[in-house]
Structure 1
Amino acid sequence: MIFDREKMLQLCNDWSKNTLMNTLEIVYTDAGEDFLTATMPVNPRVHQPMGLLHGGASVALAESVGSAASLMFVNPEKQEVRGIEISANHLKSKREGMVTATAKIIHKGASLHLWEIRIVDEEGKLISLCKLTNMVLSRRS
């Protein structure tokens, strides 16, 4: 199967309409055979009360990009992906601007995918480091 970057990005962005990803303004921006990248603006919509990027918003970004990335390795007509575990280490705070999350495959099994998601700022400084485990299920009728 030949990887189609544009088709993957279109699929992810289309599936985001009227979802949390749309609410958080997450946009899928780049893809390759073993990674997927998305951006999210940092503004009051994703702040915690102290005016900083909320850790939960970072985790939502990480799970969104990691779960969508698993779609590259399944047949969406026959299979579904579910995130079953996520961990996050928040290393740097951010008040405004843009963050970029890149999910890279660590393990690609028939029923489990393990992703490392790095969330960085505009200068490439690490904001959060996350790990996501996805389960691959047969699609129910």
Structure 2
Amino acid sequence: MEPTTTERLRASGIPEQYHPFFAERGLGGLAEKMGIVFEEMGPEHSVARMPVEGNTQPAGLLHGGAHLVLAETLGSIASNIAAGPGKMAVGVDISATHQRAITSGWVTGTCTALHLGGSLCVHEVVMRDDAGRRLSTARITNMVVDRRG
């Protein structure tokens, strides 16, 4: 039997207070496929984890794009929460610098707001390994627009 929306949100670590938000908008299939699980969620500070296993490139390292998926998931969700009712945030820029490779374990992304405005939200996301070593640093900018339909 297919899990319910509530079961899927709980499995992804989405706090109960945000279930109505995600029931309406959805979490996004990619975050679920990548195994991203949230530990904290809010517009100014969010934390999520992702397994290395299943998200590697052919050489066995965590794929650089996986870093960006984690960063964009965190920054986009934080920006959409900040945008509020009737608004939505859409990504306009993302970049990352990779400092260290990882081949196993978990990656933890910590998302911190640099700017939460009425038209732009900017977040920095730092990814670390289980030992707390910095793996990569990303910056994501989202534009806040009126929600259609």
Q: Give the Å deviation of 1:13.
A: 7.2
Taking a change above 3 Å as real, the CA distance of residues 12 and 101 of structure 1, as seen in their structure-2 partners, is farther
Using the size of structure 2 for normalisation, the TM-score is 0.82
Give 1:55-74 correspondences, 5 Å limit. 55-74=64-83
* 2:144 paired residue number: 136
Query: Do the aligned residues in 1 keep the contact of 2:125 with 2:137 (CA within 8 Å)?
Result: yes
Equivalent-residue separation in structure 2 for 1:39 and 1:12 (angstroms): 21
Q: Which residue of 1 aligns with 2:12?
A: none
Aligned to 2:104, which of 60, 76, 96? 96
Alignment of 1:86-125 (within 5 A): 86-125=94-133
The alignment yields a C-alpha RMSD, in angstroms, of: 1.8
Unpaired segments of 5 or more residues in structure 2? 1-14
- Deviation of 1:26 (Å): 0.5
Percent of aligned positions that are identical: 36
**2:134 matched to which residue of 1?**
126
1:51 maps onto 2:60 in alignment:
yes
Structure 2 residue 52 is matched with structure 1 residue 42: yes
Which of structure 1's runs of 4+ aligned residues deviate more than 4 A?
10-14
Aligned residues: 133
Output the CA distance in 2 between the equivalents of 1:79 and 1:91.
35
Q: Distance in 1 between matches of 2:21 and 2:45?
A: 13
Q: Does 1:26 align with 2:36?
A: yes
Are residue 16 (structure 1) and residue 27 (structure 2) matched?
Answer: yes
1:65 maps to a residue whose letter is L
Gaps of at least 5 residues in structure 1 are none
| 1:14-41 Cα shifts (integer Å, max 9, x gaps) | 6326x10010011111135620111100
TM-score normalised to the size of structure 1? 0.86
Which has the larger strand fraction? Answer: 1
Q: Partners in 2 of 1:52 and 1:123 — Cα distance? A: 17
